[in-house]
Amino acid sequence: MDYVRIGDKVISISKINSTIDEILELRCKGYSQQEVAKILNIDRTFISRLESIGEVRKGGKIAVVGFPVANKEELERELKKAGVDFIFLLTEEERQRFVKDQSGLELVNGLFDIISKVRKYQHCIILASNARSKLLSALLDCHVYTIDIGKSPLKEDVYVDVNRVLKIVESIKE
């Protein structure tokens, strides 16, 4: 039975199922809820509620982005142990090299590629200057947790308190 009557409406079950399949397929490909809503001409809140109904793991996948980080290796090691899914940390030297070694177009494409990757995660912890934290928060479609490591513009590596970051990771997992 593909059709059901609800009051004076006739509802197609297969249309509902195919739309849900399409929503999930686009979300798995990395599209944001807002992008999927626009593509399918549906309300974004419907997508959010649909995902809540089917959610089986609280916490979700976690990304950590930070620069310029003095204790990068230590932080990476501890984040991997804690099960963080995506880690993108740069020292000031690496950040400067990233900017200088590319043409303008390559730089923009590289930044969009990183942002696109991070947007696939449900949670992102940002370790950056106050201005960079605000900018990244605005660009991401996930739960964002910021740790301001200084006032913009930062010109030197900054030591990041590993335990502070790990406490956020653990609170997300709970």
Question: Percentage of the chain with pLDDT > 70?
Answer: 96
| The total number of structural domains that make up the chain | 2
79 and 164 share a domain?
A: yes
CA–CA distance, 172 with 174 (Å, rounded to integer): 5
150 and 167 share a domain?
A: yes
34 and 78 share a domain?
A: no
105 and 32 share a domain?
A: no
Q: What is the pLDDT of residues 86-143, one digit of tens each?
A: 999 999 999 999 999 999 999 999 999 999 899 889 999 999 999 999 998 888 878 8
| DSSP string for 10-73 | EEEHHHHHHHHHHHHHHHHTT--HHHHHHHHT--HHHHHHHHHHH--SSS--EEEEESSBTTHH
CA distances from 14 to 4, 10, 143 (A): 11, 12, 33
pLDDT at 54 over 90: no
Q: In terms of residue numbers, what domain contains 40?
A: 3-54
13 and 74 share a domain?
A: no
38 and 97 share a domain?
A: no
Amino acid of residue 41: N
122 and 40 share a domain?
A: no
158 and 80 share a domain?
A: yes
71 and 50 share a domain?
A: no
Q: What is the pLDDT of residues 79-96, one digit of tens each?
A: 999 999 999 999 999 999
pLDDT at 34 over 70: yes
Of 54, 72, 87, the domain-final residue: 54
pLDDT of residue 58: 54
Q: What is the pLDDT of residues 7-18, one digit of tens each?
A: 999 999 999 999
149 and 72 share a domain?
A: yes
83 and 138 share a domain?
A: yes
Nearest Cα to Cα of residue 39 among 52, 50, 24, 23: 23
CATH number of the domain at 22, please: 1.10.10
- The 10 Å Cβ neighbour count of residue 50 is 17
3-state secondary structure of 86: strand
* Whether the model pTM is above 0.75: no
79 and 156 share a domain?
A: yes
